C-alpha cells in the first residue's frame, strides 16, 4: 500500500498549509480527475465529457487512472471535490463547468504541482489552463443548412441562458442562414435552463406552432427533436451529442462536443512533463467541434455546400464572423473583409443586424 | 413583433398537454391531503414513475403497460412513506422530503441503461371528421388518451368525494381523525390507500412526461413538476375541478410566456415565471375568508390510543 | 401481530440509542445496495463514514464538515423553534436565498470601497432579508389565517426566480464578460467572510451556528419564551389559557427562523460560495428540515444531525471519486439513512408489543 508514504507526505503538507501535495506525480500511473456539473447520464454536456474520459482510459490503458464525481454543485462543494482529488494524488483535474472557475483557481493555488483544466472560463494561472470550443463554427454550418431547408422562412431557436456563448451561436446561425436565404426570420425563445426536457418540448412546440419548420437548440435534451418528429415535416439538429436516434429526420445533422482529442493531448503533456498553462479555444479544425453526419433528408447540393463551408472554416480560410456586419441597432461592427477578434466574441452581448427582439437582461 | 403569429387554438391545445402531467399528480396528492396526509414526496414518486413507465414501455413495446408500471412504481414507493408516517408515526414533512431524495436516487440508478432510447409512441386520437373541425376539433378531439384520462380522473375524483360514501369517509378522516376513529373507521388503512393512490397518480404523471410529452429518459427530468403539483393542490383549495383550472392556468402561463417570447415580445421571463406562485398565495389569502380551508387534520399524526 | 403502545413517558435511553440503531440499519441496507452495485460493502461504508473523520486526509475533511454542516445547523435551529410550537416554516430555502441576495447586494453596493463597517452591514442585511421573506407567511397567517406551510413553500419558487433575475441582471459582475453571476466577494476583503483561523474551516457562519445552538438551548430550557414555545406545541389549549399570544409567537418563530436562514445564506455567499449565481442555492433549506427532525428538534441533537448529514455528503463524494460509485447510489443511501432515522424515532414514545392487542 502507498498509504504510509502518502500519510507522511500529507503530514508534511499540513505543516506548510497544503502547499506540498500533488507529490504523487512521481507514480508511474497518471491520475486524472473529472468534476462534472450534471449526471453522466444527461445525454448532453456531461455525457460528452464522460465519453472523452472513457476515451482517455482507452487510449492510455494502464498508464492512466481516471476518477470522476458527478452532479457537483458549483461553489464550495466543487472546491471540496477538487481538493479531495488533488489530495488523493490526481496529477491533472478537468473541471467542466463555467461555475467552477473561481473554485478551480482557489484550489490550484493550494496545489501548485497539480495541473488544472477549466472548461469555458477565462481565468488562468501557472497551473490552470482554460479550454473551450468554438461552437459557433458549427452553428454557421447549421445556419446554412437551416436557411436552405426552411420553407416557411421561419427558424426557431431555443436558447438556454442569454450568455455570450449562446448569443454567439444565434448570430453565427443567423448570418449564414440569411446568406443563403435573405427572407429568413429567427424566432428566439429563452428557456432559462440548460436541461429541462419538458420545458424544451414546450418551447419547441410553441415555435412550431408559430410557423417555424426548422428548430435549432442550445439546450441539451432531445425533447425538441421529439417534438419536431411528432409535429412532422420539421427538422432539427443534435446538440452537444449526436442524438443519432432521431436520424435521418428530424435530426439532419448535429454539433458534437468532442473533448477526447484535447483530453488525450493534455494527459500526454502531463506524462511528458511538457504541460503548460494555455488558453485553448478550438473549433472544427482540431476536431473539438464535430459536425455529425448530414443525413439524406438534406438535398445533395445543400449538403455539399454545408460541407464546403465546414472545410473552409477548418482550413482557416473563412471566419464565420467576417464583415461587412452591422449590429442589431444598425451601427457598424465589422468592415468589409474584417473578422471578429476573440475578445469581442468572448463577451458578445448583442445581436447582429436583422435579428428581431431583445436579449433579456 | 406581432401577436397574430400566436394561434389561440394551438395555444389552448398545447396548454392542455402541458398541464396533464401536473394535473394527474395533483389529483393524487389531493386525495392524500383530503385524507389528512401531506406527502411532500410527489417529485420523488413522479420521477420514479417516469423511469418505471419508460423502462417497461421500452421492454414490452406497449405504452399501456408502461403506464401501468408507472402507477405501480409510484404506489410502491409511496408505501414507504405510508409505512413511515402511518405505522412508525414519523413526521410527514420530513418523510416526504426524504422520499423525494430517495426517489431521485432510485430513478437514476434504474435509468442507467435507458439513456438515448426512443420509447414506443403513444397514439393520438384522430377521428377523421371531428378532429378536422375548425378550432374545436383540435382542442377537443386531437389529443393522446392520457389527456382524456386526466380529465376523466378529475371528474371521477370529484364524484367520488362528493357523492360516494367512501368519499365521505375519506374526508371525515382528513377533517378529524379522532372522530372518524371513534365512528369505527380504519383511519390508518384509509390513509394508506389514499397515499398509494397519490403515489400511483404521481407515477402516471411522471410517465406522461417520459412517454408522451418529451418522450425520452433523462435523469431528474421531472425538474420540479412534482413541487408544482403540491402548489396546485393548495391553489385548488382541495377541490378537483379547481385542480383542472389551476393546471390549465399554470400550464397556460408557461406556454403563453414562450409564445410571447417567440412572437418577439420582450417580457421579463423570471417575473412571469413566479406569477403562478404569487397567484397561489393570493388565492390562499382570499380562500381563508371562505369556508374552504385545508383539511383540519392535514399533516397531523394519528395514533389510536384505545 | 405487532402493535405500538404509548410509553407513559418518552424513554431517554431509547431516545439516545435510536440514532445509532438507525445508522447501523442504514449501514446494513446500504451495504446491500453497494454490494448489488458490485462494490465491497465494507469498503464503501468505511469510505463514507470513516475516511472523512479518520482517514489519511482527515485534516482536510474535518474542517469541511463544519463548512458543510454550519448552514444546515444554523437553519435547522431556527426552524426547530417553530416546529416545536407547531409553526411550520418549510420555505427556509427561499429565506436563505433572500439572505444571500440582500447580504451580497449590501456588500456590492459599497464596492470597491473598503471599510470595517461593510461586513456587519451585510450581516444585518442578510438577516433582515430572510426575516422579511419569512414575515410574509407570518403576517398572512396572523392576519388571514392562511397556511404557513404552503405560503412559505410557494415563496421558495419566487425566490429562485428572483435569484436568477439578480444573477443575470442587477447583481451581474460588470467585468464578467457577460456571464451570469455577481462579483466574487472572496476578492473583496471588506465583504469576505474569510476563515477566522486558516485551515480550520471556522468562518463567521460556523461561529453563528454554534452560537445559535447555545442560544436555542438557553432559550428553551431557561427562558420563559422557550417555555411558551414548548407549551404551545405540546398543549395549545393550555397555552391559550396561560395567556400566550399566539400571533406574537407565530411572528417570533417565523421571524427568527427566517433571520437564521437569511444569515446562513449571507455567510455562505460571502464566504465559501463567494458569489450570487443562478445555481447558488443547493437545497440547504430543505435539507435543514430533515436535520431538524433528525436532531429531534433538540439543539444538541441538531448539531449532531447537521454534522452527520455533512459527513454523508463528504463521504459520499469520496466514495464517488475513489470507488466510482454513482451519485445516485449516494443519494439513495442518504434517503435510507433518513428513513431509518425517522422510523426508529417512534420507539422513543412508544414501545412495541407483540401478540394480539386485547379489546379496548
> pLDDT per residue over A288-319, tens digit each?
999 999 999 999 999 999 999 999 999 989 99
Alpha-carbon distance values, C57 to A6, A79, B302 (Å): 9, 15, 47
B139 in a structural domain: no
Q: How far apart are CA C322 and CA B76, in angstroms?
A: 33
A262 in a structural domain: no
A66 in a structural domain: yes
CA C105 from chain center: how many Å? 23
CB crowding A125-159: b at 16 or more within 10 Å, else e:
eebbbbbbbbbbbbbbbbbbbbbbbbebbbbbbbb
**Residue-number span of the structural domain to which B149 is assigned:** 3-117+144-289
> Could you state, in order of their start, the residue ranges of all structural domains in chain C?
40-324
Residues A10 and A129 reside in one and the same domain = yes
Task: Give tens-digit pLDDT for A342-352.
Answer: 888 888 889 99
Residues A197 and A304 reside in one and the same domain = yes
A248 in a structural domain: yes
Which C positions 108-167 lie with beta carbon below 8 A of chain A?
164
Residues A329 and A208 reside in one and the same domain = yes
pLDDT of B9: 81
Helix and strand counts by DSSP (H, E) for chain A: 11, 14
Task: Give tens-digit pLDDT for B237-264.
Answer: 889 999 999 899 888 888 888 888 888 7
A197 in a structural domain: yes
Residue A215 DSSP symbol: E
Domain end, chosen from A105, A133, A161, is at A133
Which B positions 256-295 lie with beta carbon below 8 A of chain A?
258-259, 261-264, 266, 268-270, 273
pLDDT of C198: 78
Helices (H), A214-336: 223-231, 260-272, 300-314
pLDDT of B269: 77
Task: Give tens-digit pLDDT for B265-278.
Answer: 777 777 777 887 88
Closest residue to A221, CB basis, from B1, B121, B216: B216
- Mind telling me how many Å the CA of A361 is from chain C's nearest CA? 5
Q: Look at the alpha carbons of C333, C337, C342, C344 in this order and tell me if their dihedral is positive or negative.
A: positive
Q: How far apart are CA C116 and CA C82, in angstroms?
A: 34
Q: What is the DSSP string of A86-140?
A: HHTT-SEEEE-SGGGHHHHHHHHHH-TTSEEEEES----BTTEEEEEE-HHHHHH
Residues A312 and A234 reside in one and the same domain = yes
- For the record, the C-alpha cell of A101 comes out as 472557475
**Nearest to C341, CA basis, from A185, B94, B205:** B94
pLDDT of C254: 94
Give the count of domains, chain B: 1
Residues with pLDDT less than 70, chain C = 1, 355-360
Total residues found in chain A within this entry: 361
CATH number of B160's domain: 1.10.3470
Q: How far apart are CA C350 and CA B179, in angstroms?
A: 22
Residues with pLDDT less than 70, chain B = 1-3, 125-138, 289-293, 304-306
Does the pLDDT value for residue A10 go beyond 70? no
Residues A59 and A11 reside in one and the same domain = yes
**Binding partners of C (≥3 Cβ pairs within 8 A):** A, B
Q: How far apart are CA C354 and CA C345, in angstroms?
A: 18
Residue C350 DSSP symbol: E
pLDDT of B176: 86
Measured from the Cβ of residue B88, the count of other Cβ atoms closer than 10 Å reads 18
Paired sense of beta strands A30-35 and A92-95, if any: parallel
B15 touches A: beta carbon within 8 Å = no
Residues A117 and A142 reside in one and the same domain = no
The share of chain A scoring above pLDDT 70, in percent, equals 92
Residue in the structure block whose three cell numbers are 459557433: A136
Q: What stretch of H or E contains A332?
A: strand A332-334
Closest residue to C342, CB basis, from B88, B227, B299: B88
Does the pLDDT value for residue A8 go beyond 70? no
Question: Strand locations in C113-230, DSSP E?
Answer: none
Q: How far apart are CA C286 and CA C289, in angstroms?
A: 5
B297 in a structural domain: no
Q: How far apart are CA C328 and CA B126, in angstroms?
A: 41
CATH number of A25's domain: 3.40.50.2300
Residue in the structure block whose three cell numbers are 444585518: C124
A68 in a structural domain: yes
Contact between B219 and B206 (Cβ < 8 Å): no
**Binding partners of A (≥3 Cβ pairs within 8 A):** B, C
Does the pLDDT value for residue A119 go beyond 80? yes
Closest residue to B115, CB basis, from A41, A210, A357: A41
Region C40-324: CATH code: 1.10.3470
**Where residue A178 falls among pLDDT bands split at 50, 70, 90?**
very high
Residues A129 and A201 reside in one and the same domain = no
Contacts of B215 in chain A (CB under 8 A): 226
**Residue-number span of the structural domain to which A50 is assigned:** 3-133
Residue in the structure block whose three cell numbers are 451519485: C327
- CB atoms C338 and B101 under 8 Å: yes
Q: How far apart are CA A78 and CA B241, in angstroms?
A: 46
Overall pTM surpassing 0.90 (yes/no): no
Residues A315 and A213 reside in one and the same domain = yes
CB crowding C125-160: b at 16 or more within 10 Å, else e:
bbbbbbbbbbbbbbbbbbeeebbbbbbbbbbbbbbb
- Mind telling me how many Å the CA of B177 is from chain C's nearest CA? 18
A46 in a structural domain: yes
**Nearest to A144, CA basis, from A331, A302, A327, A16:** A302
**Nearest to B190, CA basis, from B29, B36, B45, B65:** B36
pLDDT of B130: 67
**Nearest to B47, CA basis, from B69, B72, B74, B23:** B74
Residue partners of B273: CB distance under 8 A and separation at least 6: A192, B253, B254, B257, C161
Closest residue to B215, CB basis, from A189, A226, A243: A226
Helix (H, G, I), strand (E, B) or coil at C62: helix
Contacts of B83 in chain C (CB under 8 A): 343
Residues A96 and A184 reside in one and the same domain = no
Give the count of domains, chain A: 2
Residues A156 and A122 reside in one and the same domain = no
pLDDT of B131: 65
- CB atoms B274 and C162 under 8 Å: yes
Contact between C326 and B108 (Cβ < 8 Å): yes
Amino acid at each position: 500500500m502507498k498509504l504510509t508514504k502518502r500519510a507522511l507526505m500529507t503530514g508534511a503538507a499540513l505543516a506548510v498549509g497544503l502547499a506540498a501535495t500533488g507529490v504523487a506525480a512521481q507514480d508511474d500511473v497518471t491520475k486524472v480527475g473529472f468534476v462534472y456539473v450534471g449526471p453522466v447520464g444527461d445525454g448532453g454536456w456531461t455525457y460528452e465529457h464522460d465519453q472523452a474520459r472513457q476515451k482517455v482510459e482507452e487510449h492510455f490503458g494502464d498508464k492512466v487512472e481516471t476518477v470522476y464525481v458527478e452532479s457537483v454543485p458549483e461553489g464550495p462543494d466543487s472546491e471540496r471535490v477538487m481538493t479531495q482529488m488533488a489530495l488523493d494524488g490526481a496529477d491533472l483535474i478537468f473541471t467542466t463547468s463555467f461555475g467552477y472557475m473561481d473554485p478551480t483557481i482557489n484550489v490550484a493555488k493550494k496545489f501548485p504541482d497539480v495541473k488544472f483544466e477549466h472548461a469555458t472560463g477565462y481565468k488562468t494561472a501557472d497551473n490552470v489552463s482554460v479550454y473551450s470550443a468554438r461552437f459557433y463554427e458549427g452553428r454557421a454550418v447549421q445556419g446554412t443548412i437551416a436557411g436552405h431547408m426552411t420553407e416557411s422562412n421561419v427558424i426557431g431557436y431555443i436558447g438556454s441562458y442569454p450568455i455570450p456563448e449562446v448569443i454567439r451561436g444565434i448570430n453565427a446561425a443567423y448570418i449564414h442562414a440569411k446568406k443563403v436565404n435573405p427572407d429568413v426570420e429567427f424566432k428566439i425563445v429563452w428557456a432559462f435552463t440548460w436541461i429541462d426536457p419538458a420545458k424544451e418540448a414546450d418551447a419547441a412546440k410553441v415555435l412550431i406552432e408559430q410557423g417555424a419548420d426548422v428548430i435549432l437548440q442550445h439546450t441539451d435534451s432531445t425533447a425538441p427533436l421529439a417534438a419536431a418528429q411528432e409535429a412532422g415535416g420539421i427538422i432539427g439538429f443534435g446538440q452537444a451529442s449526436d442524438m443519432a436516434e432521431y436520424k435521418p429526420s428530424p435530426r439532419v445533422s448535429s454539433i458534437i462536443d468532442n473533448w477526447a482529442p484535447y483530453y488525450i493531448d493534455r494527459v500526454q503533456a502531463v506524462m511528458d512533463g511538457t504541460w503548460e498553462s494555455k488558453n485553448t479555444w478550438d473549433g472544427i479544425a482540431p476536431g473539438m467541434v464535430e459536425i455529425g453526419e448530414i443525413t439524406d433528408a438534406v438535398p445533395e447540393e445543400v449538403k455539399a455546400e454545408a460541407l464546403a463551408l465546414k472545410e473552409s472554416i477548418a482550413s482557416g480560410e473563412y471566419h464565420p464572423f467576417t464583415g461587412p456586419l452591422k449590429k442589431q441597432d444598425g451601427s457598424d461592427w465589422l468592415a468589409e473583409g474584417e473578422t471578429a477578434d476573440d475578445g469581442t466574441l468572448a463577451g458578445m452581448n448583442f445581436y447582429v443586424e436583422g435579428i428581431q427582439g431583445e436579449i433579456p437582461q | 413583433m406581432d401577436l397574430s403569429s400566436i394561434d389561440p387554438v394551438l395555444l389552448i391545445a398545447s396548454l392542455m398537454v402541458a398541464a396533464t402531467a401536473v394535473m394527474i399528480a395533483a389529483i393524487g396528492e389531493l386525495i392524500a391531503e383530503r385524507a389528512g396526509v401531506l406527502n411532500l414526496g410527489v417529485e420523488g414518486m413522479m420521477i420514479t414513475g417516469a423511469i418505471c413507465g419508460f423502462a417497461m414501455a421500452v421492454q414490452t413495446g406497449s405504452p399501456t403497460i408502461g403506464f401501468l408500471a408507472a402507477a405501480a412504481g409510484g404506489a410502491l414507493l409511496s408505501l414507504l412513506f405510508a409505512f413511515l408516517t402511518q405505522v412508525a408515526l414519523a413526521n410527514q414533512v420530513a418523510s416526504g422530503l426524504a422520499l423525494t431524495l430517495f426517489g431521485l436516487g432510485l430513478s437514476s440508478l434504474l435509468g442507467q441503461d435507458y439513456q438515448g432510447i426512443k420509447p414506443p409512441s403513444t397514439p393520438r386520437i384522430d377521428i377523421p371528421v371531428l378532429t378536422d373541425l375548425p378550432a374545436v376539433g383540435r382542442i377537443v378531439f386531437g389529443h393522446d388518451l392520457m389527456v382524456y384520462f386526466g380529465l376523466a380522473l378529475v371528474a371521477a375524483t370529484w364524484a367520488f368525494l362528493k357523492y360516494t360514501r367512501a368519499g365521505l369517509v375519506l374526508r371525515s378522516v382528513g377533517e378529524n381523525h379522532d372522530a372518524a376513529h371513534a365512528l369505527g373507521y380504519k383511519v390508518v388503512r384509509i390513509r394508506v390507500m389514499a397515499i398509494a393512490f397519490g403515489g400511483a397518480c404521481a407515477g402516471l404523471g411522471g410517465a406522461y412526461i417520459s412517454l408522451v410529452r418529451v418522450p425520452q429518459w433523462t435523469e431528474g427530468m421531472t425538474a420540479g413538476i412534482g413541487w408544482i403539483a403540491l402548489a396546485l393542490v393548495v391553489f385548488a383549495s382541495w377541490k378537483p375541478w379547481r385542480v383542472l383550472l389551476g393546471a390549465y392556468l399554470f400550464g397556460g402561463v408557461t406556454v403563453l410566456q414562450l409564445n410571447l417570447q417567440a412572437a418577439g415580445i420582450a417580457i421579463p421571463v423570471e417575473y412571469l415565471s413566479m406569477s403562478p406562485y404569487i397567484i397561489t398565495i393570493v388565492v390562499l389569502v382570499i380562500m381563508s375568508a371562505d369556508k374552504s380551508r385545508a383539511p383540519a387534520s392535514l399533516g397531523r399524526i394519528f395514533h389510536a390510543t384505545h | 401481530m405487532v402493535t405500538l403502545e404509548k410509553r407513559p413517558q418518552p424513554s431517554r435511553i431509547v431516545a439516545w440509542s435510536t440514532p445509532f440503531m438507525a445508522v447501523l440499519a442504514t449501514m446494513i441496507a446500504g451495504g446491500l445496495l453497494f454490494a448489488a452495485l458490485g462494490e465491497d460493502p465494507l469498503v464503501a461504508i468505511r469510505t463514507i463514514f470513516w475516511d472523512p473523520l479518520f482517514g489519511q486526509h482527515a485534516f482536510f475533511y474535518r474542517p469541511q464538515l463544519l463548512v458543510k454542516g454550519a448552514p444546515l445547523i444554523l437553519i435547522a435551529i431556527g426552524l426547530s423553534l417553530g416546529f416545536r410550537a407547531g409553526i411550520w416554516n418549510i420555505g427556509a430555502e427561499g429565506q436563505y436565498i433572500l439572505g444571500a441576495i440582500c447580504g451580497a447586494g449590501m456588500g456590492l453596493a459599497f464596492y470597491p470601497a473598503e471599510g470595517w463597517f461593510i461586513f456587519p452591514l451585510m450581516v444585518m442585511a442578510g438577516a433582515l432579508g430572510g426575516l422579511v421573506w419569512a414575515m410574509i407567511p407570518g403576517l398572512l397567517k396572523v392576519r388571514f389565517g392562511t397556511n404557513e406551510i404552503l405560503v412559505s413553500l410557494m415563496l421558495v419558487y419566487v425566490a429562485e426566480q428572483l435569484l436568477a433575475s439578480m444573477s443575470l441582471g442587477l447583481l451581474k459582475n460588470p467585468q464578467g464578460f457577460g456571464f451570469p453571476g455577481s462579483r466574487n466577494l472572496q476578492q473583496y476583503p471588506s465583504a469576505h467572510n474569510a476563515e477566522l483561523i486558516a485551515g480550520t474551516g471556522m468562518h463567521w457562519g460556523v461561529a453563528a451556528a454554534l452560537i445559535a445552538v447555545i442560544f436555542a438551548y438557553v432559550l428553551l430550557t431557561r427562558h420563559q419564551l422557550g417555555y411558551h414555545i414548548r407549551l404551545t406545541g405540546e398543549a395549545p389549549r393550555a397555552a391559550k389559557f396561560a395567556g400566550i399570544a399566539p400571533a406574537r409567537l407565530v411572528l417570533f418563530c417565523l421571524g427568527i427562523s427566517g433571520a437564521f436562514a437569511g444569515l446562513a445564506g449571507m455567510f455562505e455567499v460571502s464566504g465559501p460560495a463567494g458569489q450570487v449565481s443562478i445555481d447558488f442555492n443547493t437545497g440547504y433549506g430543505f435539507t435543514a428540515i430533515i436535520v431538524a427532525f433528525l436532531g429531534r428538534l433538540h439543539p444538541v441533537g441538531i448539531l449532531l444531525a447537521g454534522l452527520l448529514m455533512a459527513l454523508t455528503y463528504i463521504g459520499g463524494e469520496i466514495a464517488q471519486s475513489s470507488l466510482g460509485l454513482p451519485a445516485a447510489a449516494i443519494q439513495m443511501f442518504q434517503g435510507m439513512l433518513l428513513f431509518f432515522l425517522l422510523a426508529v424515532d417512534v420507539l422513543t414514545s412508544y414501545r412495541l408489543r407483540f401478540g394480539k392487542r386485547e379489546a379496548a
